């Protein structure tokens, strides 16, 4: 369907080596020829480059892979349109971005969610899709849950965020395949459903240890990538893996289901 690549690091780092390995899969050695995108965070804002053309044919993307962009959080995606009727278009190209609470939120998805277009967003939801994909609609559902569950708090913990989105993630994952990476520039929130791999790297320097976590749909190098445990929301912050509980777990403050929460909101 699609392929994901992401990075979290405790110091600004380059990801070009891994991006260059992903590029050929976008239409040359792989079928993911319906667009590409890369988001590099600079503090609270994301610098996003994307195009609906094949990654393997993009001289601009090849330049990005060679350019010494440095960031502590990166999300990249190559797309295979599925269904094909939702074809090549900028509005359908990942990663997607929305502002919430003074930060850029970026999202990319690998998988398919049949039936999601029958699940209408709440009438008072401030997030709307620009394109046709199930992925962007899922992103809007997740952001709506964040806006309702966390609101304007700016000191929320990664655990609070992941617990807040757990109900809607459970419901969307039940529709099909839901591997995704979500970020606010501070953390990567990663849902491993069927196929995501992790590579953790550390380099010892005089002023401390540089730590990096890399995520990819399929391993990109001969290094020791490990499959992420499925049906969990994994959190990565500054290159470290903060393992979250299985998705069946529910905190007491979270609604028992996203649908129930939306029904209650509408009734209110």
pLDDT tens for each residue of 190-213: 999 999 999 999 987 767 789 999
Per-residue tokens: 209:
């240890």
Tell me the mean pLDDT in the region 168-197.
Answer: 96
Angstrom distance (rounded) from CA 204 to CA 38: 28
**% of the chain exceeding 90 in pLDDT:** 80
Q: What residue has token string 């209110």?
A: 268
229: left (phi over 0), alpha (psi -120 to 50) or beta: beta
Q: Which two tokens stand for residue 165?
A: 């989105």
Check pLDDT > 50 for residue 183. Answer: yes
Looking at residue 267, what is its pLDDT? 47
On whether the pTM is more than 0.85, the answer is yes
The CATH class that applies to domain 2-267 reads alpha beta
Q: Model confidence over 238-267: pLDDT tens digits?
A: 999 996 655 544 333 333 355 555 554 444
Q: Is the pLDDT of residue 9 over 90?
A: yes
Count Cβ atoms below 10 Å from residue 268 Cβ, excluding itself.
5
**2, 80 contact by CB (below 8 A):** yes
Query: So what's the pLDDT on residue 245?
Result: 53
100, with CB counted inside 10 A (0-12, 13-18, 19+), is middle
**Would you state the pLDDT for residue 208?**
73
Which of these ranges, 122-131, 179-188, 249-258, has the smallest mean pLDDT?
A: 249-258
Active site residue 2: yes
Q: Check residue 93 and give its pLDDT.
A: 96
The catalytic position among 2, 125, 140, 187 is: 2
């Amino acid at each position: 369907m699609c392929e994901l690549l992401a990075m979290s690091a405790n110091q600004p780092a380059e990801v070009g080596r891994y991006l260059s390995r992903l590029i050929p899969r976008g239409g040359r050695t792989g079928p993911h020829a319906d667009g590409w995108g890369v988001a590099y965070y600079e503090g609270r804002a994301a610098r996003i480059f994307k195009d609906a053309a094949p990654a393997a044919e993009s001289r601009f993307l090849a330049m990005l892979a060679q350019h010494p962009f440095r960031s502590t959080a990166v999300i990249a995606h190559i797309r295979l349109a599925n269904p094909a009727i939702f074809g090549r278009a900028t509005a359908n190209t990942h990663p997607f971005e929305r502002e919430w609470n003074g930060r850029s939120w970026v999202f990319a998805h690998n998988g398919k969610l049949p039936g999601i277009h029958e699940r209408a967003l709440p009438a008072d939801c401030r997030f709307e899709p620009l394109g046709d994909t199930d992925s962007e609609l899922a992103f809007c559902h997740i952001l709506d849950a964040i806006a309702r569950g966390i609101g304007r708090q700016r000191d929320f913990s990664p655990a609070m965020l992941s617990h807040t989105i757990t109900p809607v993630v459970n419901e969307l994952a039940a529709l099909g395949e839901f591997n995704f990476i979500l970020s606010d520039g501070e953390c990567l929130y990663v849902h491993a459903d069927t196929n995501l791999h992790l590579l953790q790297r550390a380099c010892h320097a005089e002023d401390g240890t540089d730590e990096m976590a890399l995520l990819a749909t399929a391993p990109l190098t001969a290094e020791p990538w490990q499959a992420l445990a499925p049906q969990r929301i994994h959190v990565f912050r500054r290159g470290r893996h903060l393992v979250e509980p299985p998705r069946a777990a529910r905190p007491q403050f979270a609604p028992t289901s996203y649908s129930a929460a939306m029904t209650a909101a509408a009734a209110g």
